[in-house]
A and B are shown apart, each in its own frame.
Chain A
Amino acid sequence: MDLQNQARIKELTEQYGGENIVMLLGGAEPESASIAAETVTVGDPTFAGPLAGVSLGLKVYHVVEPEIKAEFDPKVYEEQVAMMEMVLDVDNLVAEVAKMRQEGSK
């Protein structure tokens, strides 16, 4: 994950408290979504950024996960995301991000 983004996420977590924050991802690839989820839960796996060795433990979801999707206005989801369900590898995206959340979210 971009180092500036890591710094920003760290700063926001300090400001609001990790328990009040939810992170939503829109990554196209299961692998990169998994790395993003890992970065904001257990820490930056590349050890390059401000979140290296920092376990924020944020609650993190991919936007196509059923439990998060259920909270959106269906009309808005239809307009903003639905088509991409035909394009993206939804099953693997959900599996990867959910796995990271279970392992690393506080």
Chain B
Amino acid sequence: MSILAGKKVIIMGDRDGIPGPAIAECANSAGADVVFVTTECFV
């Protein structure tokens, strides 16, 4: 069963890892409904 399709997805990216918007592109490609995107910055 699909994990993402049709789900509400919350994304927490990392400036020095994978940033939020890049993950959002992936999630959208899996048919998820992205409801919140943010990116953390430790520096």
Residues of A bordering B, CB below 8 Å: 1-2, 5, 8-9, 12, 16, 20-29, 32-33, 36, 40, 58-59, 61, 63-64, 67-68, 71-73, 76-77, 79-81, 84, 88
Q: Are B18 and A36 in contact (CB under 8 A)?
A: no
Q: In chain B, residues 1-43, which have Cβ atoms closer than 8 Å to a Cβ of chain A?
A: 2-5, 7-14, 16-20, 22-23, 25-27, 29-30, 32, 35-36, 38-40, 42
Known: A26-B17, A27-B17. A20 touches B10 (CB 8 A): no
Q: Are A9 and B36 in contact (CB under 8 A)?
A: yes
Contacts of B30 in A (CB 8 A): 71-73
Q: Is the interface of A mostly helix, strand, loop or mixed?
A: mixed
Cβ 8 A contact of A22, one of B4, B13, B29: B4
- Cα distance A32–B3 in the bound complex, in angstroms: 23
Kindly name the residue among A22, A24, A32, A81 whose own CB sees the greatest number of chain B CB atoms within 10 A.
Answer: A24
Q: Are B18 and A68 in contact (CB under 8 A)?
A: no
Closest approach, in angstroms, between the C-beta of A64 and any C-beta of chain B?
Answer: 8
Taking A26-B17, A71-B30 as known contacts, 17 extra A-B pairs with beta carbons closer than 8 A to each other, sorted by chain A number, are A5-B40, A9-B10, A12-B8, A12-B36, A22-B7, A23-B11, A24-B23, A26-B11, A26-B23, A59-B3, A61-B3, A68-B4, A71-B5, A73-B26, A73-B30, A80-B18, A80-B22
A-B pairs with the 6 shortest C-beta distances? A26-B18, A28-B17, A73-B29, A26-B13, A71-B30, A80-B22
